[in-house]
């Protein structure tokens, strides 16, 4: 029994010595720490989207390009001054920025006319690359495509664009 106690004591002492040595072993590889710092993105409105005046004889599509050209087909005639939506985005140098552009619901502002809302599907770039850090940023434009039914009521139709940008 005495030998057993001695062996157990030696084993415990050896275990303590091994764990003490393990705790003081130095690492022979250098470990680095790093952090990527980015400027926050800012999205600034430069110009509203304006599809001009659309005359409806029958159902058709009104198509405004991101470059600002309008085309009407079917029973639609387009006229007046048009402009794509234009935004300025600023953030971190050389970063690619993804543009999310959900469809826009346009409703008649004249409550006496009512009418079915129209859907404007936005078109334009899916992303842009920032040329530099700071306030200069870069501009991008969005157009849209809208089907206008023959039964559309007269009036000014308006809706808010919910465009977002992300790194």
Would you kindly state where each structural domain of the chain is located, as residue ranges? 42-166
Per-residue model confidence as pLDDT tens digits over 74-132: 999 999 999 999 999 999 988 999 999 999 999 999 988 888 999 999 999 999 999 87
Per-residue model confidence as pLDDT tens digits over 27-51: 678 889 999 888 899 999 999 999 9
Q: Who contacts 54 (Cβ-Cβ below 8 Å, separation ≥6)?
A: 62, 72, 76, 77, 78, 148
* Reported confidence tier of residue 142, pLDDT bands at 50, 70, 90: very high
Task: Give whole-number Cα distances, 131 to 83, 89, 141, 160, in Å.
Answer: 24, 10, 16, 28
Residue 33 pLDDT: 95
Which segments of the chain does DSSP mark as H helices, in order?
A: 2-23
Whether the pTM exceeds 0.85: the reply is: no
Alpha carbon 44 to its chain centroid, in Å, reads: 13
Residue 152 pLDDT: 96
């Amino acid at each position: 029994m005495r030998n057993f106690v001695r062996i157990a004591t030696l084993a415990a002492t050896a275990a303590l010595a091994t764990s003490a040595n393990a705790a003081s072993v130095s690492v022979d590889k250098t470990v680095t720490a790093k952090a990527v710092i980015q400027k926050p993105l800012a999205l600034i409105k430069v110009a509203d989207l304006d599809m001009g005046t659309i005359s409806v004889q029958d159902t058709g599509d009104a198509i405004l390009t991101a470059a600002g050209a309008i085309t009407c087909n079917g029973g639609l005639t387009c006229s007046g001054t048009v402009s794509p939506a234009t935004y300025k985005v600023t953030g971190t140098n050389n970063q690619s920025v993804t543009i999310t552009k959900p469809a826009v619901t346009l409703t008649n502002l004249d409550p006496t006319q009512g009418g079915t809302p129209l859907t404007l599907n936005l078109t334009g770039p899916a992303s842009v690359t920032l040329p530099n850090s700071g306030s200069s940023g870069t501009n991008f434009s969005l157009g849209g495509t809208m089907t206008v039914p023959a039964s559309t009521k007269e009036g000014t139709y308006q809706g808010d664009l919910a465009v977002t940008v992300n790194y």
